[in-house]
Chains A and B, each alone.
Chain A
Amino acid sequence: MATPSPFPTTTPETKTVLTPRWRVVFLNDAISRMTYVVLVLRKVFGFNETQATAHMREAHERGRTILWVGPRERAEAYVFTLRQWHLNSILEPDETG
């Protein structure tokens, strides 16, 4: 018979804590040329022409488009950069995750 261990047995339990995710949302504006918006989205997010154009069109037709979802710090950096390019963008919590 095995000698009982003097230490309490523990069962390791793994919990995944999800970091809250944030959205970078671009809001359509009346002034920026479509070509300008596409150019900035390609430059800031590395989108190809098709992706950037799709986002631009969505913003134009629906008033907004979600450009990126992820950790807050990086989302803030994207919004700041878009605002340096004078594109109206906001940060909002992603409630789908």
Chain B
Amino acid sequence: MKRVEVKLDLTNVAPLLDVLKSASDALSTRLALPLEVSALDADSLEQWNADLIESQNEDIAALLKLFNRDFFSEEVVAFDEDNADAVIRACSALKLYLFREYLSDLSEEDFETNEVIFDVLTENQQKPYLTFMFLDTLQKVIMRHLNDLVVDD
């Protein structure tokens, strides 16, 4: 089984874990991407919403599991075919939440070019922004190294 280990700097990542935890708490009962599918009737919407929240919670739990006791001693997180899909989906859910809650006044181009000037962010935006970029990087690393697991050609 292909496995990728990523060494993270605890001093940089630890402060972001609080943001991750509070975002995951906020998302425990709602979707990061609100369900707007007008072709569905009310009953179906309710069922989909419940099922998607359950799926989202499972994915976020897989992400948070990376930052367990071993992470604090070894500063390493590991990905393989068992958790890769869930973790990259969780990264997307949490990025969406952080963007909508804290960063929506930044432009799309800022994110695409990574040209957000940190100093112009308000104090309330700085940690969410760093957490957003951390999740974005984590997602890219998994996609780059486990692409053959994520996409079955």
Contact = CB atoms under 8 A, between A and B. Distances in A.
Interface stretch (B7-15, B62-70, B117-125, B139-147): B139-147
A39 B148 CA distance: 11
Contact of B89 (A31, A79, A85, A90): A85
- In the A-B complex, the 8 residue pairs with the smallest Cβ-Cβ separation, listed nearest first, are A30-B108, A86-B92, A91-B39, A42-B151, A86-B33, A84-B55, A31-B99, A43-B151
B47 to A, nearest CB: 10
Given A30-B111, A33-B140, A39-B147, 7 more contacts: A22-B39, A35-B143, A39-B151, A80-B48, A83-B31, A86-B32, A91-B37
B96 interface: yes
B136 interface: yes
Interface in B62-97: 88-89, 92-93, 95-96
Contacts of A36: 88, 92, 139, 143
Interface in A71-85: 76, 79-80, 83-85
A80 B39 CA distance: 13
8 contacts: A30-B111, A31-B92, A32-B92, A33-B140, A80-B52, A83-B48, A88-B33, A91-B37
Interface in A41-81: 42-43, 76, 79-80
A90 B150 contact: no
Contacts of B89: 84-86
B38 interface: yes
B42 interface: no
Contacts of A91: 37, 39-40
Interface string A84-96: 1111101111000
A62 B108 CA distance: 15
A85 B39 CA distance: 20
Interface of B: 31-33, 35-40, 48, 51-52, 55-56, 88-89, 92-93, 95-96, 99, 108, 111, 136, 139-140, 143, 147, 150-152
Interface of A: 22, 30-33, 35-36, 39, 42-43, 76, 79-80, 83-88, 90-93
Given A31-B99, A32-B92, A42-B151, A90 B36 contact: yes
B55 A31 contact: no
A43 B88 CA distance: 13
